[in-house]
Amino acid sequence: MGIIIGNTILLACIGTFFLRIAGRKSISQMTIPQIMILLATGTVLGSEVSGKGMANTIGVLGTFILILILIEWMTLRSKRIEAILNGESVPVIQEGKLEMANLRKLRISVDDLEKRLRMAGISHIEDVKSGTIENNGELGYELFPDAKPITKRDMELMLKTYLPQPPREAPSLFSEVQKEPHRGEGPQQLQ
């Protein structure tokens, strides 16, 4: 019994180490090869617990991780291989209109797309200039200019244009700290 517990702890540590080498991504960010390797890794770890042999299990796990690293290296080197293995972004909204054929191809209902838009803070499909389902299943989008939220830069430009500010003459609280110690009234030890 002690050997099984020891092997299980060892495999948990080795599995964690191998998955750490494989990289950090949440399940929603994983590509199909990454999910396949993750599932296979879990299966291999489970088979060791049932007694398939420690050395073989570690070798298989290492091989899976090497395959994953090779796949990721190949996808970095070739757009075509990346498209084959990971897939490509699929447009689902163009100029505020749904691309129904692509939604059907992805097997995504309009309700599911609307849920994703609501979660992104978008109230109207017509506000979306282009929307895609990325290869990891996430929604990517670009809003029309009039639907984009105002940025700090936009606000500062608008304020400068319509409400010119008089120059500030009073020193800020920070200027006295930066220049010299405060010499005001009160006990010396508090200055």
To the nearest 10°, the Cα dihedral for 28, 32, 34, 36? 120
Q: Is the pLDDT of residue 150 over 60?
A: yes
Strand duo 90-94 + 128-133: pairing: antiparallel
Q: What are the tens digits of pLDDT across the range 95-105?
A: 999 999 999 99
Location of each CATH 3.30.240.20 domain in the chain:
90-147
Mean pLDDT of the chain: 78
Q: What is the pLDDT of residue 63?
A: 78
Q: What are the tens digits of pLDDT across the range 32-73?
A: 777 777 777 777 766 655 565 777 777 777 777 788 788 888
Q: What is the pLDDT of residue 103?
A: 93
Find out whether 141 and 124 touch, Cβ atoms under 8 Å. no
Name the CATH superfamily housing domain 90-147.
bsu07140 like domains (3.30.240.20)
